[in-house]
Chain A
Amino acid sequence: MFDVKKEISTLILIVVSLIVLLPFFFDLPILNIIGTEMKVWAVILSGIAFGIGAINFVAYHSKKVIEKKKGSYINAWTLIVMVIVLILGLLPPIGDRSEFVWIYNAIILPGTNTTLSLLTFFIFSAASRSFIARDRKSGIFLLSGIFILFMNTPIITSILPSLLEFGQWILKVPSAAGFRAFTIATGLGTLSWAYRTIVGAEKGAELTAQ
């Protein structure tokens, strides 16, 4: 069945794709100008997406607070903090006010760093349990892991400089060969996806599933 909305959106997709793509192959000033304008609009829309994200955030947490669900005080606190940071961020000088900078440097930064750093303990715990030579395959896995650890330990590579050279060879030859194949495959996949988009065959995951 002919769906006008779907066909128009596909047509827009094809036209926009061609406008952005063609300047890569041909020196067409008019397409360059339009293409640049479109990319700038994409930047503006990305900025608007932040606003939409904030609205969704407020709507989600407000609903929880209004419904007084278990633990809704956390949602209320999230909203309060958001409002405080937002106000401080928007007060002049925008984004550079000392209180805002303090919140970022003294609360957000240490908080995110601490959360990530806690992983160290779990990685140690996991290493002691997973790097065990239970059979031949896990033995190879263990050897590879130990080798990577040796290669990345400055004190060991300073004692055994040949290990650093061998590690560089591993990175530059077998490992790079694998990743190169992976990158080329991804590139070809992207190319085929771009082609499908331009010819209007790409309907999006949802429509394809239908």
Chain B
Amino acid sequence: MSVIATKIRYITYLLVAISVIVPLIRPLGLPIPITPTTRQAYEAIQNLPEGTVILIYTTIGGPNWPELGPCAKIVLQQLVDLPVKFIIYSQFFGSSLMYETKIIAKMDMKGKEYGVDYVDIGYIAGEETALAAWVDDIHKTSSQDYFGNPISSLPMMKNIRTGADIDFVIVIGHLEPVLRQVQALYGTPVTCFAWANVISFYMPYVISGQVSGLVPGLKGAGEYELLMKSPGVGAASSDAISITHLLVIGIIIYGNYDYLKKKGKRQKDVQGGI
């Protein structure tokens, strides 16, 4: 590789780093239009009646934390404000740890009491089979919660025994297991916060009405924060998304210009040679 090409590559890397870091440190407040499916998800949750039992089925943690972490935070903030009960079910071994240490520990739970208004089931090994077993018999499959308390000792779980007792599901991550094991069996409404790159895969489920609302990753978290009137990491990251996307468009344009210039020069050389 030529010295100039290496230099251009390093300059590009530097520009990428700057365009990500600066908006995160100092948010620019660039406009964020709300995607219709994000609004649909927000309204579906906001209009839940009092006493609704919600299952938060999550795969956050580790590598997907930067994209789905802000989604998990903002939707939990919304649930804390609503008169609903929720159960956190982890499909990734680190999800409950993330919830307890990075979200709930730093959030004002506004009087929501553990065991009465919300429960953390923790991680259950076995992926989709585990969810199938769990909705069949919750008390048998997860006899203890994340903290080791017997499930039967938690007041909220006394009348929640099978998937039929769940009124609404919020998926943060993989959607399909919930569709197959909960929505298809019990007709439970589902809303989903997914990685931006799987939105195309999940869109047919929104059109069919199986999923009410689809939030596209970090960009969607920013939109959701605006709907909640509580801009945070997601909104700041939206600025970074705007700047980096503009940069990549610029780089693509430059790449094409460079290619055409070299192509023209080559053709000129060939013609000159003839």
Contact = CB atoms under 8 A, between A and B. Distances in A.
B82 interface: no
A154 B241 contact: yes
Interface in B6-36: 9, 12-13, 16, 20, 30-33, 35-36
A124 B13 contact: yes
Contacts, number: 169
What is the predominant secondary structure among interface residues of chain B facing chain A?
Answer: helix
Interface string A169-191: 00110011001100100000000
A62 to B, nearest CB: 24
Contacts of B16: 120-121, 124
B238 to A, nearest CB: 5
B97 interface: yes
Given A39-B136, A46-B126, A142-B256, A155 B101 contact: no
Contacts of B255: 127-129, 131-132
A137 B105 CA distance: 52
A154 B137 contact: no
A108 B196 CA distance: 24
Interface string B133-161: 10011001100001110000000000000
A103 to B, nearest CB: 11
B129 A179 contact: no
Interface in A100-131: 101, 104-105, 108-109, 112-113, 115-117, 120-121, 124-125, 127-129, 131
Interface of A: 32, 35-36, 39-40, 42-43, 45-47, 49-50, 93-96, 101, 104-105, 108-109, 112-113, 115-117, 120-121, 124-125, 127-129, 131-134, 142, 145-146, 149-150, 152-158, 161, 164, 168, 171-172, 175-176, 179-180, 183
6 contacts: A46-B126, A93-B147, A93-B148, A121-B16, A149-B252, A171-B199
Closest 5 CB pairs between A and B?
A: A39-B133, A46-B126, A158-B31, A46-B125, A153-B245
